[in-house]
Amino acid sequence: MNKSKQLFASWVLMAIGLETAQADYKLNLMQGVTKVSNDIYDLHMLILWICVFIGVAVFGAMFYSIYHHRKSRGHQAAQFHENTTVEIIWTIIPTLILVGMAIPATKTLLELDDVQDSDMSIKVTGWQWKWEYEYLDNGIHFFSSLDEASNKARQVGSGIDPRSVPHYLLNVDHPLVIPTKKKIRFVFTAADVLHSWWVPELGWKKDAIPGFINEAWTNVEKAGTYRGQCTELCGKDHGFMPIVVIAMEQPDYDAWVKKTQAEAKKGPDLSDQSHDELVSKGAAVYSKNCSTCHLPDGKGVPGAFPAITGSAVVKGDIKVQANLIINGKGGMPAFGKMLKADELAQVISYTRNALGNSVGDEIQPKSVQELLPQGADTASKAVPMSTSEKAEPIVDMPKDELVSLGKSVYGSNCASCHQAEGQGMPPMFPALTGSAVVTGDLNAQVGLMLNGKGMMPGFGHTLSATDFAAVVAFTRNGLGNAVGDAIQPSAIQKLQAALPAAQDDDED
């Protein structure tokens, strides 16, 4: 029996109830795990029953009239042009029904857009084909991709039964972790094309649009794992960029934050690796990040994605290839933002010594680190400082040195919102170029950055005094601004010492 006949037989068996379908199909909306999702469900049911009542009333009256006033019973059709009373009645009643439907609908829509008074903010950026998450309040930052098991099973000719993979195509390597019973504000954008972030149990979905910011919020009452997908056709691997949200009770979430921040502080492994180790580990990095476009065998898709096998770039100068991978070009994203130096070294070495290539050389993580944009990987990622770090001796620096250092600090902590050139993303993230705050009173700007305001987190507890002074100097003397002044790290250290203790310090 060929495959088409097997599928048809399976469909027939399911239709007559002899075979169980794989999915649990439901006719109604799910209620979700948030107040918003339940309010949407309640609104849906209210409108549904109003429509049912209208349908029963209208069709009931129509069928009654047709049956009891039929010609066979001797009824004659009434002849009249209009009836003012009837006209008024069938205008007033629908108007009242529409108003009755509009009031709860408007209330729910306003609730959906009310992102004020949030406890924390998370920036979500869509990429082809993964999600980038940045916690604006504590500096945690990572990319989330399809998990390895699903990625292997989805490959043509893998021989893996997808039904044997838990949560096939709905699992990721790094899930988004949030606390329960907290109002969480999301801001959405995209780095390349349109995407759409959707977790059904949260009750909404939002488009991620390049150069534009969308907002949404959630408050999950119950701890658990909630899964979703991109719902905007964003390219060939649109179906392979799932979303996984893990809601944790506050103590568990706090422990996760500390662990994640501690791992981020370690940075990439810059120790030298053997040629065989680089190539071996690079295979996994390639499979996860490159095989989607260039294919698992490196043959690429002619006219769309160039082949790795026999590529002049891959077989040429290794630093030229490294710069292309790090900075991207055309449709190829900048992997310097996504991968650590050791991962980049591994995948570069792999492509040059596998997939039909045998150049014979390799590149070490230290060499890749030197090619990364200034401050990448090792620059401060807004990870909260410990009390001992705040107490370290501070050395004041010339303004030019502060500005130079501030460029890398800005790139790691500010550019994601205010953009690399300081142009911002109005109206959500204001421009720094020509900003009245940045070109105005120095102390006012410092106070704003120390304590935060609105969506902007307070950097008083997350940047060292030196990094803080440096980024202030850079914003006032770079990005198209030329105020000419600066503040020294020693002055920032005194201001930080006067700030209320950070939550993590209290817990320690």
Asked if pLDDT for residue 379 goes beyond 80, the answer is no
User: Is the confidence at residue 4, as pLDDT, over 80?
Assistant: no
Query: Does residue 376 register a pLDDT over 80?
Result: no
In order of 54, 199, 289, 345, the CA distances from 129 in angstroms are: 46, 17, 9, 22
CA distances from 178 to 121, 255, 256, 286 (A): 10, 12, 10, 30
**Which of 441, 339, 272, 318 is closest to 132 using CA atoms?**
339
Q: Does residue 129 have a cis bond before it (omega within 30 degrees)?
A: yes
pLDDT, residue 303, reads 75
Positive or negative, the CA dihedral 417, 423, 428, 429 is positive
Query: Average pLDDT in the 375-400 region?
Result: 56
Instruction: Specify whether the CB–CB gap between 238 and 50 falls below 8 A.
Output: no
For residue 506, pLDDT over 50 is answered with no
Q: Determine how many CB atoms are found less than 10 A away from the CB of residue 118.
A: 20
Please write the tens of the pLDDT for every residue from 245-269: 999 999 999 999 999 998 888 777 8
Q: Quickly state the pLDDT bin for 415 (edges 50, 70, 90).
A: confident
pLDDT at residue 428 is higher than 90: no
Other residues' Cβ atoms within 10 Å of the Cβ of residue 22: 8
To which H or E segment does residue 90 belong? helix 84-112
Domains and CATH numbers, the chain: 35-72+82-112 (1.10.287.90), 120-266 (2.60.40.420), 275-371 (1.10.760.10), 387-507 (1.10.760.10)
H-helix or E-strand containing 197? strand 195-199
Residue 375 has pLDDT above 80, yes or no: no
Question: Is it the case that residue 158 has pLDDT exceeding 50?
Answer: yes
Across the chain, mean pLDDT equals 85
Is pLDDT at 507 greater than 50 in this prediction?
A: no
Alpha-carbon 423 to chain mean position: 22
Contact 409, 462 (CB under 8 A): no
Selected residue with higher pLDDT from 133 and 68: 133
Phi, psi dihedral angles at 232 (to 5 degrees):
-120, 125
- How far apart CA 503 and CA 233 sit, in angstroms, is 41
Please give the single-letter amino acid code of residue 327. Answer: N
pLDDT above 70 for 192: yes
pLDDT at 425: 76
Rounded to an integer, the average pLDDT of 272-299 is 90
